[in-house]
Amino acid sequence: MIYEIRDLHLSLPDMTRKPLLGATPRIEILKGLSFDVPKGAVLGIVGGSGSGKSTLGRAMLRLLEPTGGQIKFKGIDITHMNENQLRGMRQQFQMIFQDPMSSLNPRRRVGGIIAGPLRLHGVENLPAKVNEALDMVGLPTTFARRYPHELSGGQRQRVGIARAIALRPDFILADEIVSGLDVSSQAQVLNLLADLVRELGLSLAFISHDLSVIRRLCSRVLILHKGEIVEEGETTELFESPKAAYTKELLAAIPLPDPYQKWDV
């Protein structure tokens, strides 16, 4: 198993209700989630805006500390590890961010952006590794000298992917990575990601609110609603016979040009 997650709770201080004096009340965002990510799985995490998808992702990468429950990564309990303990492991779980404009430091060239994490983990022969990573995401190696603002949205997201895979992690979390792109670059980036996952034998958690994308990419799906898992299962099974009322609602909202609903009824 890559991830074993049991009864995961996470609450954050609610800044919208901060009182003038005294402690800020906390708002519970994840309310007891349990699921596994098997090795080599592509897990889709679906849910409406504000359902806690990004918070779950950040907890899995331990950018946030859970307030209850347990997260095991490859059998190791990382729930309450501190930053020093995590540092040695971080190479193994990586993330691709939603907005590449914000996740790529505007003052670094593409080469430096990809080389940074490699250098931190003591990888040698950096320029060759950077070129290799650019090559794998289908960008010319001359792009190493460019700044992020000189690239298109799709190219930027490829740099984000290159940065994540360059470390050769076991697991990658992709948080709404195509929601900011136009339709044709969306398809290209998704195909690239699918190919890389297969080639490198990665496990992937793919966060999205777009069910048609999830169906194409993911073997398993997890439906999140208001911080709780309402349904989890094999993608084909879940799409054909959804059990939870919320899942049915979501599926009904998919636009019609869709092989499953077209002939049904």
Partner 1 sequence: MRDARGNIRRPIGARLWLSGGWLTLLALAAICAPLIAPKDPLMQDLFLGRMPPFWMEGAEPGYLLGTDSLGRDVLSRILYGARLALVVALVAGTLTCVAGATLGLVSGFYRGWPDRIISRFVDIWMAFPPVLFAILLIAVLGPGLLSIIIAIVIIDWTRFARVIRAEAMSQGAMDYVASAQVAGRTRFGTMLAEILPNVLPTIVALLTLEMGIAVIVEAILSFVNLSISTDSPTWGGMISEGRTSVHQAWWVLVFPLITLFLTVLSFSQLGEGLKDRFDPVLR
- Binding residues (CB under 8 A) for partner 1: these are 58, 61, 63, 83, 86-88, 90-91, 94-95, 97-99, 102-108, 116-117, 120-121, 140, 142, 145-147, 149-150, 163, 167
Min dist. Cβ of residue 49 to ligand ADP (A): 4
Q: In the set 17, 27, 142, 243, which binds ligand ADP (CB under 6 A)?
A: 27
155 binds, among partner 1, Mg ion, ligand ADP, none (CB under 5 to 8 A by kind): none
Q: In the set 12, 89, 187, 192, which binds ligand ADP (CB under 6 A)?
A: 12
177 binds, among Mg ion, partner 1, ligand ADP, none (CB under 5 to 8 A by kind): none
Min dist. Cβ of residue 13 to Mg ion (A): 19
The region that residue 92 occupies, defined by phi over 0 for left and psi between -120 and 50 for alpha, beta otherwise, is alpha
User: Identity (one letter) of the amino acid at 106?
Assistant: P
Question: What is the maximum alpha-carbon separation in the chain?
Answer: 60
Min dist. Cβ of residue 16 to ligand ADP (A): 7
Q: Does 50 bind ligand ADP (CB under 6 A)?
A: yes
Closer residue to ligand ADP (CB): 51 or 203: 51
Helices 153-166 and 126-136, packing angle to 10 deg? 130
Q: Which of 146, 139, 91 has the alpha carbon at shortest distance from 119?
A: 91
Q: In the set 51, 54, 79, 208, which binds Mg ion (CB under 5 A)?
A: 54
User: Identity (one letter) of the amino acid at 210?
Assistant: D
Min dist. Cβ of residue 194 to ligand ADP (A): 22
Instruction: Round to whole Å and give the CA distance between 254 and 261.
Output: 9
Residues that bind ligand ADP (CB under 6 A): 12, 14-15, 27, 29, 47, 49-55
